[in-house]
Amino acid sequence: MNGRVLIVDDEPDIVSTLKARFEASDYEVITAANGAEGVEKTLQYHPQMIIMDVIMPIMSGGDAVRRIKALKGMQNIPILFLTALADYLNDQHHERCVKIDGQFFPALAKPFDSKALVLTVAKLMAGSKSVDS
């Protein structure tokens, strides 16, 4: 088992595609349909990695990350944003990222290459901050 990944996205097709890809790569996959559910599942399952959409109903990805990072013991969970909205992507040191409260989180744009996404997650879980290396 490569680890437990939480996928937080309101698009069922993206969730099912990611779930299948990560399970095929020997990850345990937990899913959530919005930011509020993502916070709850983080508390319940303690994932080793979170893949988060930005714009979702009930609670945005940014608000969910703020809440997750405020939870005791959850501050060090790597978070990768996955978004179709180019406005949310900032280039910081030639890497795609989303800025939340002054902190930069790695990001990939939708549509995404699922093989590249799995490799990026593996790097982040191993402690690498770079998405492009």
Mean pLDDT, all residues of the chain: 85
* Residue-level pLDDT at 85: 62
Q: What is the pLDDT of residue 98?
A: 77
Over the stretch 48-95, which tens digit does the pLDDT of each residue have? Answer: 999 999 889 999 999 999 999 999 888 889 999 987 765 454 555 445
Q: What is the pLDDT of residue 20?
A: 94
Residue 130, domain member (yes or no): no
Within a domain: 131: no
Q: Would residue 18 count as lying in a domain?
A: yes
Q: How many domains does the chain have?
A: 1
Mean pLDDT of 29-49: 96
Express as a percent the part of the chain with pLDDT over 70: 87
Residue 52: name the closest of 75, 42, 125, 90 by CA: 42
Measured between its terminal Cα atoms, the distance across the chain in Å is 24
Residue 132 falls inside a structural domain: no
Which DSSP state fits 82? Answer: E
Residue range 4-26: average pLDDT? 95
Residue 59 belongs to a domain: yes
Rounded average pLDDT over 30-50: 96
Flag whether 133 is in a domain.
Answer: no
Residue 127: its pLDDT value, please? 81
* Residue range of the domain that includes 67: 4-113+120-125
CATH number of the domain where residue 36 is located: 3.40.50.2300
Q: Which of 69, 44, 61, 49 is nearest to 1 (CA)?
A: 49
